[in-house]
Structure 1
Amino acid sequence: MSRRFDAIIIGAGQAGPPLAGRLTEAGMTVALIERKLFGGTCVNTGCTPTKTLVASAYAAHLARRAADYGVTIGGRVGVDMKVVKARMDAVSGRSRQNVESWLKGMDKCTVFKGHARFCSPREIIVGDEVLISERIFLNVGGRAAVPDLPGIDRVKFFTNSSILELDTLPPHLVIVGGSYIGLEFAQIYRRFGSEVTIVEKGPRLIGREDREISEAIREILENEGIKIRLDAECISFTPKGSQIGVGVECSTDEPEVLGSHVLLAVGRGPNTDDLDLDKAGLETDKRGYISVDDQLRTNVPGIWALGDCNGRGAFTHTSYNDFEIVAANLLDNDPRRVSDRTMAYALYIDPPLGRVGMSEAEARKSGKRVLVGTRPMSRVSRAIEKGETQGLMKVLVDADSKAILGAAILGTGGDEAIHGIIDIIHAKAPYTAIQRAMPIHPTVSELIPTVLGELKPLA
């Protein structure tokens, strides 16, 4: 049995549902296929559940610090992991249900539950039906990478998805991977009460960030009692009764970490290996990401790839921006491109890191004359008043064009304050435009003009 539609969307992540909305509003019939959970990574295993955990962990941390603010709490601060998980599941579940209800109630949209595969460049099989369309949009997302490390097949381990099923507290959680996902879970579980060790293959945490940012984050985590093992070149796993031995082969300290649980946080890969892309003639890179051009068109006319599966961004906001780019080009005669956007993201440890544009290393390689301004959060009134003075602010500027090249705000409110800089970069305005504004006191954002007023040549 076959059915014809004006468009087929595979995947109900952050790009698929809003695209279905725009296409149906334009009068098109749309088939949307989802094989598992509506809302994709963000709603089910990413932003929504993890930031809910971050909030619970922050509440526990603040309760323990209550005396610092003159607040008395009787007795020991405890964490009920079953209640924590129930709250997370409820928040995530509501978001998932909202997406599903929206799609199923959308006029001209037919929702299919099942695993989609290509039969040809214009045909998709799902269940016992063949769907046909001249326009096919892939929003199939990604999943945690599981590298073939020695002994990994002999032990139980968590990924960023499966650890969300845990409703008990690990006595000692060993996290393999010192990047964004690993660091968030490290602080979450340490604040819940677990002993936590991070094992990182590289010489420092989050190696893409500037060294002082990386070192500041390490200090923040170590001050909370998180152990960090760097330069772990030969990571391996050995069952040790009820525990797991994680071989690290570091140049310092013991060669093995003994933990009760292991979380692998070593990257992600695209969900493209079981779509029969070859039957459509679609090209991928060596990691399986679908190759796309600047308007997210694949090498096959009439097929687009959006979100994590195209390798052009790994965030909810890049996926949603992919939808906006495709809709603008297809429906609005508005020629938007991926290359027009400036990459921005956040790391949601506490305090958070907000980042946009170039790092210092990238700025140095650009060949531009670079100016830099920095300020410790210990000299930001808002941070002092809140008793949260860890971190720093840093801005990089092109001395000739006066354009802001990049910025990092590691500190309380850093994930929000960075947006003022994001907007200036997007508007292609000079950094001096911020200095003429009148910011609100007391905020973190009000110190951005101050930092820009103290720019110096990059040493």
Structure 2
Amino acid sequence: MTHTFDAIIVGAGQAGPALANRLTGAGKTVAIIERHLVGGTCVNTGCKPTKTLVASAYAARLAQRGAEYGVRTGPLSIDMPTIAARARKVILDSRKGNEDWLASMPGLTLIRGHARFTGSRRIEVNGETLEAPQIFLNVGGRANVPDFPGVDEVDYLTNSTIIPLQTVPGHLVVVGGSYIGLEFAQMFRRFGAEVTIVEKSARLIGHEDEDVSAEIRAFLEAEGIAVRTDACCITLGKHERGVKIGVDCTEGSPEVVGTHVLLAVGRRPNTDDLGLDKAGIETDDKGYIKVDDYLRTSAEGVWAMGDCNGRGAFTHTAWNDYEIVAANLLDGEERKVSDRILGYALYVDPPLGRVGMTESQARQSGRPLLISKRPMTRVGRAVEKAETWGFMKMVADAETKKILGAAILGTGGDEAIHGILDMMNADAPIGTLQWAVPIHPTVSELIPTLVGNLTPAR
């Protein structure tokens, strides 16, 4: 039997329900297909639960440092079941909110099952065929599990399976020194675990500027986290204490023994088993669906949004994908992915807020540059909070006087960066920001000073 809709959305992650709301609001009949959990990565295994755990870890750190602030407490203990229960509640509340939202949409049919293309704009799910003139793929991604020697011999954790842990690992070995790995490394160190980070590259988060990488490594090591970079030959194997990880680094022991190992070596799109070839939908060599500037795939009438299209790996970029598609199809606009100024954050403590080009990228562009940098030790708000790790940095075009990019690695950096992001979106010259009058005492109040200190790059 064939069921016909005006639109089919595959995946109920960040972009899916929002687009369904706009389409049904326009009077269209819509089917949204979800094979697992409504809400996608952000709600179930990503932003929501991990930032809940980060908040618990921050509370633990403040308790550990209480005496520095003149606050003395009794012996500190970590209640891991309660910590995990907090994260679980956030997941369930958010998921239910999304499910209730979908249920409230007139003209929407939620179908539970795995969708596969059987032809052009034709999908099979649960043995039935669905057709629509418009199909939107929002299938997300999952943890990448590399074929390290021995990976099939050990019980490893991913970002999904580490969240519900009920006990603190004795020694957590984190394989991967980028966003996911660093956040879990710091939080479990603060919960009391011994932690070692193993990274195959020469430094952590290698696509950031070297000074950012070095500062993050410094404050992680200051908390007692061991960092092993240049791990050029990673292997896994069983050990009587849990798992042994061969690292073959240029310095240090050739292996690390831990009770648990977390694989945090990137993500991969959920495009393996969708029958994309039967619909003429092209992917790149990593499995990401190829899209144009309007998020259209190579197949007529099919769009791809969110993590599966390789045009952004964040909840906010997935949401913006929905906004672009909805604006173009329903509002008569011409929004493009290339108009987007990318900002993001790394939720270690202190956090990193980033927007636009790194200093390295700006230098490689060949433009004449202005650069400014200010340590957080000179930011009054950071001093008052006794959280002075990090710095602020800005890069601007010396000719156009427009901001090219910025990084705020420091307390409140994930929020303060928006002052710069907004100026970049407004295409405002640096003078506009320099003569703003921000509130004292805040981290943001130093941004005009940062602009005022822009000097020619050397």
Amino acid at match of 1:49: P
Counterpart contact for 2:241–2:258, Cα < 8 Å: no
Counterpart contact for 2:133–2:301, Cα < 8 Å: yes
C-alpha displacement at 1:392, in angstroms? Answer: 0.3
Instruction: Give SS of 2:415's match.
Output: helix
**Partners of 1:321 and 1:55 in 2: how far apart?**
26
Render the CA deviation track for 1:318-358: whole Å, top value 9, x for unaligned: 00000000001000011000000111100000110000000
Question: Where does residue 25 of structure 1 map in the other structure?
Answer: 25
Question: Where does residue 422 of structure 1 map in the other structure?
Answer: 421
Work out the percentage of aligned pairs sharing the same amino acid.
Answer: 63
Render the CA deviation track for 1:178-218: whole Å, top value 9, x for unaligned: 00100000001000000000000001000011111110000
C-alpha displacement at 1:52, in angstroms? Answer: 0.2
Counterpart contact for 2:88–2:164, Cα < 8 Å: no
Q: How large is the RMSD of aligned CA atoms in angstroms?
A: 0.7
Question: Where does residue 199 of structure 1 map in the other structure?
Answer: 198
**Partners of 1:190 and 1:233 in 2: how far apart?**
25
C-alpha displacement at 1:105, in angstroms? Answer: 2.0
**Partners of 2:285 and 2:436 in 1: how far apart?**
47
Question: Where does residue 366 of structure 2 map in the other structure?
Answer: 367
Amino acid at match of 1:66: G
Question: Where does residue 14 of structure 2 map in the other structure?
Answer: 14
- 2:51 is the counterpart of 1:43: no
C-alpha displacement at 1:435, in angstroms? Answer: 1.2
Counterpart contact for 2:241–2:257, Cα < 8 Å: no
Counterpart contact for 2:371–2:393, Cα < 8 Å: yes
**Partners of 2:199 and 2:80 in 1: how far apart?**
27
C-alpha displacement at 1:167, in angstroms? Answer: 1.1
Question: Where does residue 409 of structure 2 map in the other structure?
Answer: 410
| 1:49-448 equivalence runs, <5 A | 49-74=49-74, 76-448=75-447
Amino acid at match of 1:221: L
Amino acid at match of 1:30: V
Render the CA deviation track for 1:232-268: whole Å, top value 9, x for unaligned: 0000012112421100001111111010000000000
Render the CA deviation track for 1:411-430: whole Å, top value 9, x for unaligned: 00000000011011111111
**Partners of 1:390 and 1:353 in 2: how far apart?**
11
**Partners of 2:14 and 2:430 in 1: how far apart?**
32
Amino acid at match of 1:8: I
Render the CA deviation track for 1:343-394: whole Å, top value 9, x for unaligned: 1100000110000000111101111101110100010000011111110000
Instruction: Give SS of 2:392's match.
Output: strand
TM-score when normalising by structure 2: 0.99
**Partners of 2:456 and 2:434 in 1: how far apart?**
19
TM superposition outliers: structure 1 runs of 4+ over 3 Å: none
- 2:2 is the counterpart of 1:2: yes
C-alpha displacement at 1:165, in angstroms? Answer: 2.6
Counterpart contact for 2:283–2:290, Cα < 8 Å: yes
Instruction: Give SS of 1:165's match.
Output: coil
TM-score when normalising by structure 1: 0.99
In structure 2, runs of 5+ residues without a counterpart are: none
Instruction: Give SS of 1:252's match.
Output: coil
**Partners of 1:262 and 1:393 in 2: how far apart?**
33
**Partners of 2:252 and 2:455 in 1: how far apart?**
40
**Partners of 2:72 and 2:87 in 1: how far apart?**
28
Amino acid at match of 2:2: S
Render the CA deviation track for 1:54-109: whole Å, top value 9, x for unaligned: 000000100111111111212x1111110100110001110001101110221111
**Partners of 1:241 and 1:417 in 2: how far apart?**
47
**Partners of 1:93 and 1:457 in 2: how far apart?**
51
Aligned residues: 458
C-alpha displacement at 1:162, in angstroms? Answer: 1.1
C-alpha displacement at 1:128, in angstroms? Answer: 2.5
